[in-house]
Amino acid sequence: MQEVVKAQLETVYKREPVYNSYITVMEKEALDQAEEVQKRIDSGELDCSPLAGVTIAIKDNICTKGTRTTCASKILENYVPPYDATVIEKLKKAGVVLIGKTNMDEFAMGDSTKTSYFGASKNPWDIKCTPGGSSGGSAAAVAAEEAHVSLGSDTGGSIRQPASYCGLVGIKPTYGTVSRYGLIAFASSLDQIGPICRNVPDCAALLEAISGHDPKDSTSAGQKSYDYRQALLDDIKGMKIGVPKVYFEEKMQEDIRKIFLDAVNTFKDLGARIELFGFDAVKYSVQTYHVIACAEACSNLARYDGVKYGFRADNYANLEDLYKKTRGEGFGYEVKRRIMLGAFVLSKDNFEKYYNKARKIRRIICEAYENAFERYDIILCPETLETAPLLADIDITEPKKSSSLTLNSSVNLAGLPAASIPCGLDKNGMPVGIQLIGKRFGEKDIIRAAYSFERTRSYERPEII
């Protein structure tokens, strides 16, 4: 087992100067874990674990005991958690080997990794392009074969969009399916941890390993069964799939539109029943997402003030000056922008006008999904409106509407499961993904449909430098 991990580490050190997928490589920890896993395999303890010995990359907003967890921010550059997140405990129990902590947008705020204090990651399909965000490092690590699988977090598409840009499978589970204990919060009612892998079976196995009720997380759900691998069935005959008309009204790359329509025909050929339907409520999801996400970020990030942990500014006159200098120097532009927006919508004069109104619209979006799932088993749509853009074209000081938020944010607002799966390449050879959205705790329907579709496509992989 140690030989396998050593070979994986050699690949990481060889390719990291190009891709910048990792913030911290856990060489000693990985080799120690490999030795322990081998002993457990030899004793028969891990006979039933499909993940024994698999190397995994962990997004750097998930706490790992004894290994720094930075959130890609200067303010937590040297923070070392005294405990493991629940998902890390579950992975270690399953015999998975942690290979390192991956790059991301600072505090998961961004869609390109360009807001990272440690520099942007590169897309293995084309290093001039972004791997997406905020879980861009997790996607780049798997696409560049610097880890077998990875974990990301998804607040408004941050697992699904990078998976799409890097030609991978990414699953955002139902809110509450995976414990958030140990996930450093961005927007608590939206965040959810999920897997990024090269294929659907790997995603199903990893999701099964990290799911389950956790008494340490008050939002954790108490499902009876998480046996997602049983849903790996190549049979979707009679499955009812809804395709929202509203997404065809958005500005979409013509290649993506063509590939998506071809994917719809593939599902028809597999025996699914496809139907276009009106879904106008999601038109308001991006604005609603921004108000709620920024409000929750403002609250969650108030704890970083230079007093208890993390970065502390020098040369301050008093406590108020310490707060101002620490937060001013420790946070990047995008994080400060969202904190300010959050403070604005939560202020006395704006609470009813913005935040409370956003909560009401969120309820309308949830009801729209509930009504849709009375008719359909899953909902199908493109994952992004464009393939991975050039890093040089992304200006983080001039925020604009993300091309993936339009398609993804409503899923987080409603707390639903969704998956991005690769379905082809555009004219420039860059991956295109499609999104499957399920009803609450409908992961098995998504996995079954994704697995059936995946079997109609050959696995495309980038030319790795």
* Residues with catalytic roles: 59, 134, 158
Nearest to 57 by CA among 85, 13, 21: 21
| 454 vs 452: CA distance, rounded Å | 6
Q: Supply the DSSP string of 56-102, one letter for each residue.
A: EEEETTB-BTTB---TT-GGGTT---SS--HHHHHHHHTT-EEEEEE
How many CB atoms lie under 10 A from the CB of residue 276? 11
Residue written as token pair 């290649």 = 255
Q: Is 345 helix (H, G, I), strand (E, B) or coil?
A: helix
Tokens encoding 400? 């604009």
Nearest to 136 by CA among 64, 128, 150, 465: 150
Q: Does 134 sit behind a cis peptide bond, omega within 30 degrees of 0 on the bond before it? A: yes
Residue written as token pair 């500014």 = 313
Using CB atoms within 10 Å of the CB of residue 316, give its burial: 0 to 12 exposed, 13 to 18 middle, 19+ buried. Answer: middle
Cβ atoms of residues 180 and 213 within 8 Å: no
Crossing angle of the two packed helices 2-19 and 27-42, in degrees rounded to 10: 150
Using CB atoms within 10 Å of the CB of residue 243, give its burial: 0 to 12 exposed, 13 to 18 middle, 19+ buried. Answer: buried
| 195 vs 173: CA distance, rounded Å | 9
Using CB atoms within 10 Å of the CB of residue 427, give its burial: 0 to 12 exposed, 13 to 18 middle, 19+ buried. Answer: exposed
Residues 6+ apart with CB under 8 A from 34: 1, 2, 4, 5, 53, 97
For the chain, first and last CA: distance in Å? 26
| 67 vs 50: CA distance, rounded Å | 26
How many CB atoms lie under 10 A from the CB of residue 290? 22
Cβ atoms of residues 116 and 44 within 8 Å: no
Question: Residue 173 gets which letter from DSSP?
Answer: P
Q: Is 126 helix (H, G, I), strand (E, B) or coil?
A: strand
| Phi and psi at residue 438, to the nearest 5° | -115, 165
